[in-house]
């Protein structure tokens, strides 16, 4: 599908990918950047970088591949809803759940559960054609648990996406790390991107480094093998927390992708997943402007690991 935009004189200076993300809220910024890199998005007939700054008079032509036609069905599934109104919904996502249907995960996703939830809990008695469609403003990996906000309207999606892009969102993660950081508090400032040798991985060894910063604070130690930390991402790069913690020699427990086999277990204690939890999320409500903040306690599997490690420390 071909879409054309002409930048008007009233448009503020911004990156090409940011502009298109606002204009096309149903397409993620990551996908827009990929389309630009593939040459499917051109500025004045020329291929430019996603970071190119647009100006009045610029003509953007976007050739979006037609997605394979399939229907995403609602599937009744338990949802831990922390807050909901007509604009948005805040949910505590369990680990092991994929956000959106993809190859190999066409059902059982968070989107399937949300569609069923909206159909069942619509307060205004609207028919199925008017029921809100979930809009994901941010994502959590399959094996990461925790708080997510989901937009229910285009207006809410744009407002929340803007806050994420400006890094005005409050985000606090909790993780169990292999080993202990040298400093109790610190900042990891390391540009990362798709690894030059393996495009499935993210690392500092990349042809397209992107600025990435993470603050951390050690909460407690379990001997010298494991530490519980809080992570405060200043930026929101793919796999940022996993790569950053591994870069200081303390990969997240259970993250064998970036930490190797050694982090998959502690002696006979098997680690079931990446021990990462999105604990707190704060944002400004799209319509009321009030600052809202939501938190979720550590899930049972992470609590269990902590209890076992604590018990060993007492011996």
Q: Any idea which residues carry the catalytic annotation?
A: 141
End-to-end CA distance of the chain: 65
- Per the rule left: phi > 0, alpha: psi between -120 and 50, beta: everything else, 186 is beta
Give the pairing type, strands 276-284 and 145-151: parallel
- The first and second tokens of residue 178, run together, are 């292999």
276 by Cβ neighbours in 10 Å (0-12 / 13-18 / 19+) ranks as: buried
Secondary structure class of 170 (helix, strand, coil): strand
**Neighbour-count burial for 251-266, b at 16+ CB within 10 Å, e otherwise:** bbbbbebbbeeebeeb
**How many angstroms separate the most distant Cα atoms in the chain?**
71
Residue 137 and residue 149 in contact, taking contact as beta carbons nearer than 8 Å: yes
Distances (CA, A) of 126 to 130, 180, 314: 6, 53, 58
Q: Residue 278 pairs with which residues in a beta bridge? A: 146, 173
Q: How far apart are CA 5 and CA 41, in angstroms?
A: 11
What torsion, rounded to 10 degrees, do the Cα atoms 21, 192, 296, 152 define? 10
């Amino acid at each position: 599908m071909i879409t054309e935009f002409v930048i008007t004189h009233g448009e503020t200076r911004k990156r090409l990918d940011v502009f298109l993300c606002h204009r096309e809220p149903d397409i993620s910024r990551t996908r827009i950047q990929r389309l630009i890199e593939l040459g499917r998005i051109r500025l004045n007939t020329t291929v430019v970088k996603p970071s190119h700054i647009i100006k009045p008079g610029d003509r953007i032509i976007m050739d979006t591949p037609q997605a394979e036609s399939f229907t995403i069905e609602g599937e009744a599934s338990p949802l831990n809803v922390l807050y909901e109104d007509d604009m948005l919904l805040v949910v505590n996502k369990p680990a092991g759940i994929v956000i959106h249907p993809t190859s190999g995960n066409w059902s059982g996703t968070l989107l399937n559960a949300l569609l069923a939830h909206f159909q069942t809990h619509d307060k205004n008695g609207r028919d199925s054609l008017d029921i809100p469609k979930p809009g994901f403003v941010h994502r959590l990996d399959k094996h990461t648990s925790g708080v997510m906000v989901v937009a229910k309207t285009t207006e809410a999606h744009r407002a929340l996406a803007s806050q994420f892009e400006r890094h005005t969102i409050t985000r606090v993660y909790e993780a169990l790390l292999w080993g202990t950081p040298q400093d109790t508090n610190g900042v990891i400032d390391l540009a990362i991107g798709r690894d030059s040798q393996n495009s499935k991985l993210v690392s500092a060894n990349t042809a397209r480094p992107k600025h990435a910063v993470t603050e951390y604070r050690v909460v407690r130690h379990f001997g010298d093998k494991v530490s519980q930390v809080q992570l405060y991402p200043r930026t929101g790069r793919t796999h940022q927390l996993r790569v950053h913690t591994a870069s200081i020699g303390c990969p997240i427990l259970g993250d064998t992708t970036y930490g190797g086999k050694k982090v998959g277990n502690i002696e006979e204690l098997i680690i079931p997943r990446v021990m990462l939890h999105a604990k707190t999320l704060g944002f400004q409500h799209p319509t009321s402007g009030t600052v809202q903040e939501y938190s979720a306690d550590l899930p049972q599997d992470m609590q269990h690991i902590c209890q076992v490690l604590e018990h060993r420390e007492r011996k």
